[in-house]
Amino acid sequence: MKVSNRIVTEDEADLRLDRWFRRHYPNLTQGALQKLCRKGQIRVDGGRVQSNARLAPGQSVRIPPLPDMTRQAPLPPPDPMLVREIEKMVIYQDDHLLVLDKPSGLATQGGPGITKHVDMMLDGLRKEDEDRPRLVHRIDRDTSGILLIARTPGVAAKLAAAFRGRDVGKTYWAIVVGRPAQASGIIDQPLAKIGAGGAALVVAASRGEEDAVSAKSEYETIDAAGKKFSWLGLSPLTGRTHQLRVHCESLGTPIVGDPRYGGKTAHPEGFIDKLHLHARQLDIPHPAGGRLIVTAPLPPHMRETFRSLGFVPGDTPAPKRIKGSRGPAK
């Protein structure tokens, strides 16, 4: 193989160099790539570059001889049962992205003790001769609702940038025990993580604590059953682990069925004992222009709780593309 040059495409905008190589040369290891970068054998527009550099459309990537690196082992066929399962989750799709309605109890990614998760099922959504779809963000294992999937690395990079730039509107619904003292407001409560891995807990922290990070959520009481239970609309303004769950607990209104937070109060009798937190709606800038708003229907256990409490969720709107709109709808 001779030295060659490849031009970065529009779809590969903002992609890291190591991920770009992983896409085109999947058998090239990270260590080998970093060594080639250090020696200056891999260059971008003629200049030396590190493996974590981000690429722009039109740039030229110098590729040194990589014997046998382009030969990719054939992928095993996806499990037909997993394919059927993830296909049933799709509530919107186009040439750029997919939106899933993830059930409660299914993890987004793997980890200790997790044998089944969305990420391992994504091959079932791959189109022939196209990239493997990839996760754009995550939601908790026990949370149900909207999960955004990109069809290509370029789309994933654009959507990830929108999440980082807070150009995404996220709405969650929750059933909580009790009723907030104020019907609506901003929860400005720093958080800190205790422990690591799957056993880690997130707790409310004081400002200035060494491990404390800023965390803000907006909430609104949509309906209430006296002072015993409330239906809240929640919008995280930051993206911390378990943020909404801990913020609801800090209000004195833990989410019904929460297995980690709220203690016994979160497990009242007469309700299905599953987390009542649902990623209801996502409002994103679409990679092809305009905005996309997608809404996920309530999961079965929350529908039952709504019915028993007399809450009326109304119809679930169909996905909607809006042309020329900027910023998430308020």
CATH architecture assigned to 80-164: 2-Layer Sandwich (3.30)
Binning pLDDT at 50, 70 and 90, where does residue 157 land? confident
In this prediction, residue 71 carries a pLDDT of: 52
Binning pLDDT at 50, 70 and 90, where does residue 199 land? confident
Work out the average pLDDT over 289-318.
Answer: 97
Start-end ranges of CATH 3.30.2350.10 in the chain? 80-164, 169-322
CATH number of 4-63: 3.10.290.10
Q: Pick 330 or 300 by higher pLDDT.
A: 300
pTM, 2 dp: 0.81
CA pair distance 206, 158, nearest whole angstrom? 35
Start-end ranges of CATH 3.10.290.10 in the chain? 4-63
In this prediction, residue 208 carries a pLDDT of: 83
> Choosing from 11, 140, 258, 283, which is the catalytic residue?
140
Instruction: Calculate the average pLDDT of the chain.
Output: 91
pLDDT digits (tens, 9 = 90+) for 230-243: 999 999 999 999 99
Q: Helix/strand/coil (H, E, C) string of the chain?
A: CCCEEEECCHHHCCCEHHHHHHHHCCCCCHHHHHHHHHCCCCEECCEECCCCCECCCCCEEEECCCCCCCCCCCCCCCCHHHHHHHHHHEEEECCCEEEEEECCCCECCCECCECCECHHHHHHHCCCCCCCCEECCCCCCCCEEEEEEECCHHHHHHHHHHHHCCCCEEEEEEEEECCCCCCEEEEECCEEEECCHHHCEEEECCCCCCCCECCEEEEEEEEEECCCEEEEEEEECCCCCCHHHHHHHHCCCCECCCCCCCHHHHCCCCCCCCCCEEEEEEEEECCCCCEEEEECCCCHHHHHHHHHHCCCCCCCCCCEEECCCCCCCC
Whether the per-residue pLDDT at 63 is higher than 90: the answer is yes
Work out the average pLDDT over 162-190.
Answer: 95
Whether the per-residue pLDDT at 93 is higher than 90: the answer is yes
**Rounded (10°) angle between helices 153-164 and 17-24:** 160
User: At the topology level of CATH, where does 169-322 sit?
Assistant: Pseudouridine synthase (3.30.2350)
Whether the per-residue pLDDT at 283 is higher than 70: the answer is yes
Whether the per-residue pLDDT at 193 is higher than 80: the answer is yes
In this prediction, residue 232 carries a pLDDT of: 98
Binning pLDDT at 50, 70 and 90, where does residue 11 land? confident
Work out the average pLDDT over 71-91.
Answer: 83
Whether the per-residue pLDDT at 324 is higher than 80: the answer is no
Whether the per-residue pLDDT at 23 is higher than 90: the answer is no
Active site residue 140: yes
pLDDT digits (tens, 9 = 90+) for 241-251: 999 999 999 99
